[in-house]
Structure 1
Amino acid sequence: MSITRLLETNIILVLLFLYIPIIVVVVFSFNSGDQIAVWEGFSLSWYQKLFTNSKAWRACKNSLIIAGVSTLISTIIGTAAALAIHKYRFRLRTTLTRILYLPLIIPDIVLAIALLTYYSQIKFPLKLTSVIVAHIVFCIAYVTIVVQARLQGYDDTIEEAALDLGANKFQTFWRVTLPLISPGIIGGALLAFTLSIDDFVITFFTAGVGYTTLSVYIHSSIKFGMTPELNAISTILLVNSIGFILLFLWFRSRNIQTN
């Protein structure tokens, strides 16, 4: 067997290992029985049950609110931080850049306990707001790094040319800088949104009673046994994630064509 054939076989095996469990989850979300891994026939009953489950919808609403607000704020702050690090040379620039990587390195459980301790010290109530603040803390780092990567190939002389042609700083940013780095901003925002929706550990520690998110709801439901309803929730989340990826790829291709 040639090396090329061996590498192709290994790639196929890795892909099968990664995606077969996902395919099984999607297929068994349409199972008519209540067994999570025993096929009894095709049915949409678990999706119907999910859509009439008020607890699941409340958890979904909380997750969307938390992810939406934290993504918006972290994208604005992260983009501003990336631009500041790229454009300006100040004394603590290197230190700030290293600090931004800490949320990527620190285990979630450590960050969650630190945030919970801080909330306790300042008497900050545990509810949706506390979760949003916690998610902003770790999402900023991801947005900043993604936007920084986009800025690596950015030519600053384009802004200088715009200023020489009579544009003010706001016009230069809005019509020149922002369109050029927008793929990085959108990529960072999508990453932040996905991480926020998916997060369990930090949410579990910083959410108050009655403020359940989808990840916490799924974890709580597993305690009472696995049902195809959890497969249905996972399938919906998967479809949403694929939709975001396709949206990003479409925007990126459109941006390339425009340029």
Structure 2
Amino acid sequence: MIIIVLIILSILTYVSWMNINNRTTRFVAGLISFGLLMVTILFLTANMNSHYGMKQVTTSSEKTIYSAGGSKSPAGMLITQQLGTKADNYVMIYADREDKKAKPHFVPDKKNMTEAVHKRATYQTADVDKATVKTVTTRWEWRNDFFKLMLGFGGEGHSLVKQTATVTVPEKTWVILSAKQAKQLTAKQQMAAQDKTAAAAQQKQMREGVQAKVATYLKANPKASANDVADYTQQVTAEMTAAAMKQMLK
């Protein structure tokens, strides 16, 4: 709309100064039309330079994510690949659903680098029960319908200011590793599985360790329900599995 207004005011300014014979009328009409033209130009310039007529709107969403190693392993796995050498920005592999295959997330869109440079993804560990990804997005939005009508010709509305995704995983039951480390871990696990005697001994050690911890838990919580015991057993198994995986990476 503002382009149409600029064209009309430009025409009115020209007509006022060039086609009105009465000196007073020409001066008044020309001054008013020229003044309105300058105000409109300033209005447009302010929008282009500092997003005048717009405001930043921030939204956030959070969802549960699942292990890149599948659901068979008690411990969770997050595979990361840093983008660049200094930026705290990563491509991360995990599953969106427990029954789905893991896939890369936060891969920069090379076809839309204008938005890609405003996006960042990082990770952290915390004392939590499940892994999540929280996405915080800030966009430019029109303050009201008037500004949208006047200035919404270039698609500025809903344009991205910044987007930050933070993956948070349980520090005791998940393992964070690079793509290279993931390959090394898989190779070591396959080699260990080939030695059936050593594998059986390791499984026995794991089983006995879990049983010992559960026995201690029951002693401290004699009134624990069957569900509580099952949850604790699953937790301990995941913790010991994650610890074993971390040890294999050393």
User: In which range does the TM-score fall when normalised by the shorter chain?
Assistant: under 0.3
Indicate the structure (1 or 2) with the bigger Cα radius of gyration: 2
Which protein is richer in helix relative to its size?
A: 1
TM-score (norm 2): 0.25
Taking CA–CA contacts closer than 8 Å with sequence separation of 6 or more, which of the two structures ends up with the larger relative contact order? Answer: 1
TM-score (norm 1): 0.25
